[in-house]
Structure 1
Amino acid sequence: MRSLPTRRIAAAALAAATSVVVLAGPAFAHVTVNPGAASQGGYTAVDFRVPNESDTASTVKLEVNLPLDHPLASVRTLPMPGWTATVEKAKLDKPIKVHGNDVNEAVSKITWTADAGTKIAPGQFQEFRVSLGPLPTDTDSLVFKALQSYDNGDVVRWIDESKEGQPEPAKPAPVLKLTKAAAGDGHGDSHGGATATAAPAADGHNHGDSADKAEAADADHNSSDSTARTLGVVGIVVGVIGTAVGVLGLRRRSGGSAS
Structure 2
Amino acid sequence: MRRPALRRAGLGAVLAAAAVLAAAGAASAHVTVHPESYARGAADGVLAFRVPNEDDTASTTEVQVFLPTDHPVLGVLVRPQDGWTAKVTTTRLRTPVKTDDGTITEAASEITWTGGKIGPGGYEDFDVAFGQLPDDSGRLTFKTLQTYSDGRTVRWIEEAASGADEPENPAPVLELTPAAGAGATEAPSAAPESAGGTDAAATGTGTAQAADAGDSTARGLGAAGLAVGVLGLAAAALAVLRTRPKRS
Taking structure 1 as the reference length, what is the TM-score of the superposition? 0.75
* Displacement of 1:121: 0.8
Q: Counterpart of 2:161?
A: 163
* Displacement of 1:8: 2.5
1:84-163 → structure 2 map (5 Å cutoff): 84-99=85-100, 101-114=102-115, 118-163=116-161
Of 217, 221, 229 in structure 2, the residue corresponding to residue 224 of structure 1 is: 217
Looking at structure 1, the residues matched to 141 and 125 of structure 2 have their Cα atoms a distance apart, in angstroms, of 18
How many matched pairs? 219
Q: Identity across aligned pairs (percent)?
A: 42
Whether the aligned pair in 1 keeps the contact of 2:39 and 2:208 (CA below 8 Å) is: no
Question: What is the SS of the residue equivalent to 2:51?
Answer: strand
* Displacement of 1:75: 0.8
Q: Aligned partner of 1:39: which letter?
A: A
The 1:80/1:239 distance shift into structure 2, 3 A limit, reads closer
Q: Counterpart of 1:26?
A: 26
Looking at structure 1, the residues matched to 19 and 158 of structure 2 have their Cα atoms a distance apart, in angstroms, of 26
Taking structure 2 as the reference length, what is the TM-score of the superposition? 0.78
Looking at structure 1, the residues matched to 113 and 212 of structure 2 have their Cα atoms a distance apart, in angstroms, of 23
Of 230, 236, 239 in structure 2, the residue corresponding to residue 237 of structure 1 is: 230
Q: Aligned partner of 2:47: which letter?
A: V
* Displacement of 1:31: 0.6
Looking at structure 1, the residues matched to 211 and 85 of structure 2 have their Cα atoms a distance apart, in angstroms, of 27
Looking at structure 1, the residues matched to 232 and 163 of structure 2 have their Cα atoms a distance apart, in angstroms, of 32
Q: Counterpart of 1:9?
A: 9
Whether the aligned pair in 2 keeps the contact of 1:83 and 1:113 (CA below 8 Å) is: yes
Q: Aligned partner of 1:23: which letter?
A: A
Whether the aligned pair in 2 keeps the contact of 1:40 and 1:181 (CA below 8 Å) is: yes
Looking at structure 1, the residues matched to 172 and 156 of structure 2 have their Cα atoms a distance apart, in angstroms, of 7
Unaligned runs of 5+ in 1: 185-213
Does 124-133 or 50-59 show the bigger shift?
124-133
The 1:39/1:85 distance shift into structure 2, 3 A limit, reads same
Q: Aligned partner of 1:234: which letter?
A: A
Looking at structure 2, the residues matched to 219 and 180 of structure 1 have their Cα atoms a distance apart, in angstroms, of 15
Whether the aligned pair in 2 keeps the contact of 1:51 and 1:126 (CA below 8 Å) is: yes
1:30-109 → structure 2 map (5 Å cutoff): 30-43=30-43, 44-99=45-100, 101-109=102-110
Q: Aligned partner of 1:89: which letter?
A: T
Whether the aligned pair in 1 keeps the contact of 2:37 and 2:212 (CA below 8 Å) is: no
Q: Aligned partner of 1:37: which letter?
A: S
Looking at structure 2, the residues matched to 65 and 104 of structure 1 have their Cα atoms a distance apart, in angstroms, of 18
Does 174-183 or 142-151 show the bigger shift?
174-183
Whether the aligned pair in 2 keeps the contact of 1:24 and 1:233 (CA below 8 Å) is: no
* Displacement of 1:100: 5.3
* Displacement of 1:229: 1.8
* Displacement of 1:244: 6.0
1:172-251 → structure 2 map (5 Å cutoff): 172-183=170-181, 217=210, 220-234=213-227, 236-237=229-230, 240=233
Whether the aligned pair in 1 keeps the contact of 2:37 and 2:209 (CA below 8 Å) is: no
Q: Aligned partner of 1:110: which letter?
A: I
* Displacement of 1:4: 4.4
Greater C-alpha Rg:
1
Looking at structure 2, the residues matched to 218 and 102 of structure 1 have their Cα atoms a distance apart, in angstroms, of 32
Whether the aligned pair in 2 keeps the contact of 1:160 and 1:171 (CA below 8 Å) is: yes
The 1:215/1:46 distance shift into structure 2, 3 A limit, reads farther
Q: Counterpart of 1:197?
A: none
* Displacement of 1:102: 1.4
Q: Counterpart of 2:198?
A: none
Does 96-105 or 61-70 show the bigger shift?
96-105
Question: What is the SS of the residue equivalent to 2:137?
Answer: coil
User: For each residue in 1:132-177, what CA deviation from the matched residue of structure 2 results, as whole angstroms up to 9, or x when unmatched?
Assistant: 2421122111000000011110101000012231111111000111
Aligned CA-pair RMSD: 2.9
